Amino acid sequence: MPLVKLMDIAIARSGDKGDGSNVGVKARSPEIYQYLEKNLTEEVVKNHFKDICFGQVTRYELPNLLALNFILEDSLGGGGTEALILDSQGKVHGLGLLHLEMDMPSELIEYFIGVS
């Protein structure tokens, strides 16, 4: 199966929720949403953020927006008001997740080409 970057099949935005961050991901097509719903799991995201997120990852689905919302607990070094780390508000966690590489089934590639 070809490897694709999540960035090529989705867009994202992130922000802070206390000492955690949220990463919202929107698929670029309904077919890609189906694929992400199956494959972009809490485990996959937790593993991608293993050096940043030290708590639980929770996923919520918004099929109406073709979107998934991830909550990354304990990922801001204490949070916006206390942390010394540069990105204490998780502003770049969204683009960070989009660096993820995923195996994409060949039959989905046409949708991928269709939107890129």
Partner 1 sequence: MGKNKIIRIANAQGFWGDSILGPIRLVEEGPVDYITFDYLAEITMSIMQKQKLHRPDAGFARDFIQMLEKILPACKKKGIKIIANAGGVNLKGCLQETKKVIRELGLAGVKVGIVEGDDIMDRLDELIAGGEALDNMDSGAAISDIRGAITSANVYIGADSIVNALKEGADIVITGRASDPSLVVAPLMYEFGWTANDHDKLAAATVMGHIIECGAQCTGGNYTDWREVKDYARIGYPVCEASNDGSFVVTKHDNTGGLVTVDTVTSQLLYELGDPGCYISPDCVVDFTTINISQEGEDRVAITGVKGSKATPTYKVSISHSKGYKILGTLCVTGPDAIEKAMLLKDIVFERMAMQSVDVAEEDRFFELFGTNVLYKGMVESNQQPAEIMLRIGAKGTDPKQLDILGKELAPLVTSGPPGITGFASGRPRATEIIGYWPALISKKQIVTTHFVEEV
Under rule CB under 8 A, which residues in 21-50 are in contact with partner 1?
22, 24-26, 48-50
Q: How many CB atoms lie within 10 A of CB 81?
A: 10
Quick one: 11 or 109, whose CB is closer to partner 1?
11
> Contacting partner 1 (CB under 8 A), which of 2, 30, 55, 63?
63
| Cα-based angle 64, 76, 17 (whole degrees, multiple of 5) | 40
- C-alpha span between 91 and 13 (Å, rounded): 8
Distances (CA, A) of 59 to 42, 62, 68, 83, 96: 6, 10, 7, 25, 17
Count interface residues toward partner 1 (CB under 8 A). 44
Quick one: 37 or 80, whose CB is closer to partner 1?
80
Asked whether position 17 contacts partner 1 by CB under 8 A, the answer is: yes
Stretch binding partner 1 (CB under 8 A), from 18-26, 31-39, 105-113: 18-26
Sorted by sequence, the CB contacts under 8 Å of residue 41 that are 6+ apart come out as: 59
Task: Give the binding site for partner 1 (CB under 8 A).
Answer: 7, 11-19, 22, 24-26, 48-52, 60-67, 69, 71, 79-82, 84-87, 92, 94-96, 98-100
